[in-house]
Amino acid sequence: MNPLLILPILIPLCSGCLLLLGRHGVRSARGLALLSALAQLVLAVLLVDSAGRGDIQVYALGNWPPPQGIVLVLDRLAALMLLVTAVLALPVLIFASTGADRGGRFFHPLLQFQLVGINGAFLTGDLFNLFVFFEILLIASYGLLLHGLGAQRTRAGLQYSVLNLVGSSLFLIAAGLLYGITGTLNLAGLSVAIAVADPADAPLLATAGLLLLVVFGLKAALFPLYFWLPRSYSAACAPVAALFAIMTKVGVYAILRLGTLLFGAQAGALAGLLQPWLWPLSLITLALGAAGTLAAGTLPLLTAYLVVTSVGTLLSGIALHSAAAVGGALYYLLHTTWLTGALFLLADLIAERRGASAAILRNGPRIERPALLGGLYLIGAIALAGLPPLSGFVGKLLLLQAAPSGARAWLWSVLLGSGLFSLVALSRAGSALFWRSNMRALPASAPPGNAVMAVVLLLSTSVVLSIAGEPVIEGLRATAAQALDARQYTGAVLEYMEEPR
């Protein structure tokens, strides 16, 4: 048992509790939170390295063997998602520490608890435990969404929480169904049980699987369940919105696990249960998200629609269900999580310099010394619109190449069309914010150095992803192949269960 597996949950949990219990000044709270995020980053790198050797590691909580106990499972995919989270969380914390965290007392503890939920959801090997970690990350996110308050946020928060509560009820119904039929909630156990299930139970199992798709689709913002996203994300304060960029990916991750582990190739009559739904819905999400970017009147809203577009892109790759397509989708996942995060933060820096116009795309005060913010925006826009040479282009290219000939016409037209829409929307937004302004500049101080550094850190990931493309893509192909091979996962967990102790 590798004890490192529990640390991505323990570190933010402990630091969150410490932040909650002690009476910390702003400085010590920031220090503690940053230290925790840094530790998680180092840990994530270690775990990616250890998972990269190819074998799947299992950790039984409290050394209780499954089926009674709950296991954590680390494979390449889980380690990768931990790394994505940690790389996003650190700049977000740096940015928040320049002032946004003063809006409420509980910003830092809530953010740590959110990380507990996210890391736990990636690591857990148990369906009900996944529900619990979903709840942890959702409850923290309700608090974070309201951070800083304001009437807009209250209403967006209310809709967001009600929708997710309904989602939780559906999750429980699906979990109950699966437990009633198979007698286990362990993901590996479920995988085996579904593969050998009585054909008479197949309709019920399919119901449970599709209910889970609805739940995860709600988290991931899949059409027709994405309508909550634009308003919530554009109402949240910048660092929170940036951190939320990973939340939809938790849903995408869960859909990938559901489609490979539970209803993958080994599932007999139920193999490929999700594909006929996932494929058209992801393309519709992609198209509608792109239409939303054109309609958006503010930069945060535009970015929120870019998140919707990215979810459509990712799920279309997952729906294709080949190692090349899922590998391409994972590359795009890294890119889009970090870059949309950067754009949310950048939108806040721009908004602060435009007075009452904020980030609304209309004629407003000129931005003084526009070279810095404008340059950063240009880099982010190029990457997000998918223009060469940055990572968005590489990610889309990988996906387009991976499409088999039957799916090619659809994927190429929708993906390239939505890319064009985002390009138009992003360049229109850029010219509205930086060029089309004839009012006098407001007396504003230069953006804080740390905030700019946070944006630069996130943007530079795009450069790294495209320069180090070859080894990254190699690694991601291996990750995708391992994720698609459910036998390896179940084999590792079952072997662990039978070990004498």
Question: Which residues contact other proteins by CB under 8 A?
Answer: 68, 128, 132, 135, 139, 142, 146, 151-152, 154-155, 157-159, 161-162, 165-166, 168-169, 172-173, 175-177, 179-180, 183, 185, 230-231, 234-235, 295-298, 301, 358-361
CB of 367 to other proteins, least distance (A): 17
| Pick from 289, 271, 157: nearest CA to 222 | 289
Query: Tokens standing for 251?
Result: 């849903």
Query: Tokens standing for 59?
Result: 């950790």
CB of 267 to other proteins, least distance (A): 21
CB of 326 to other proteins, least distance (A): 32
Q: Which is nearer to other proteins, 311 or 361 (CB)?
A: 361
- Alpha-carbon distances, residue 228 vs 156, 162, 224, 315, 337 (angstroms): 8, 10, 10, 18, 19
Quote the CA–CA distance of 41 and 341 in Å, as a whole number. 17
| Helix 26-51 vs helix 76-96: crossing angle, to nearest 10 | 160
Q: Which is nearer to other proteins, 111 or 361 (CB)?
A: 361
CB of 165 to other proteins, least distance (A): 5
Quote the CA–CA distance of 196 and 219 in Å, as a whole number. 30
CB of 46 to other proteins, least distance (A): 31
SS3 122: helix
Quote the CA–CA distance of 266 and 261 in Å, as a whole number. 8
Query: Tokens standing for 405?
Result: 């000939």
DSSP 124: B
Residue with tokens 């150095």, as numbered in its chain? 449
Q: Which is nearer to other proteins, 4 or 139 (CB)?
A: 139
CB of 371 to other proteins, least distance (A): 25
CB of 387 to other proteins, least distance (A): 26
Please tell me the number of Cα atoms within 13 Å of 31 on its side-chain side: 5
Single-letter code of the amino acid located at 486: A
Q: Which is nearer to other proteins, 152 or 413 (CB)?
A: 152
Please tell me the number of Cα atoms within 13 Å of 248 on its side-chain side: 35
Residue with tokens 């019920």, as numbered in its chain? 204
Q: Which is nearer to other proteins, 305 or 332 (CB)?
A: 305
Q: Which is nearer to other proteins, 150 or 469 (CB)?
A: 150
Q: Which is nearer to other proteins, 114 or 482 (CB)?
A: 114
Q: Which is nearer to other proteins, 157 or 312 (CB)?
A: 157
Q: Which is nearer to other proteins, 106 or 410 (CB)?
A: 106
Instruction: Give the 3-state DSSP-derived string for 419-459, with helices as H, strands as E and coil as C.
Output: HHHHHHHHHHHHHHHHCCCCECCCCCCCCCHHHHHHHHHHH
CB of 162 to other proteins, least distance (A): 6
Q: Which is nearer to other proteins, 17 or 360 (CB)?
A: 360
CB of 415 to other proteins, least distance (A): 25
CB of 192 to other proteins, least distance (A): 18
- Alpha-carbon distances, residue 117 vs 91, 183, 224 (angstroms): 19, 26, 25
CB of 21 to other proteins, least distance (A): 20
DSSP string across 160-196 = HHHHHHHHHHHHHHHHHHHHHHHS--BHHHHHHHHHT
Distinct helix (H) and strand (E) counts, the chain: 20, 2
Q: Chain-centre distance of CA 405, in angstroms?
A: 29
For 108, phi then psi, to 5°, come to -65, -45
Q: Which is nearer to other proteins, 228 or 410 (CB)?
A: 228
CB of 374 to other proteins, least distance (A): 20
Q: Is 336 exposed, middle or buried (0-12, 13-18, 19+ CB in 10 A)?
A: buried
Neighbours of 69 (CB within 10 A): 14
Q: Which is nearer to other proteins, 181 or 476 (CB)?
A: 181
CB of 218 to other proteins, least distance (A): 14
Neighbours of 442 (CB within 10 A): 16
Q: Which is nearer to other proteins, 21 or 356 (CB)?
A: 356
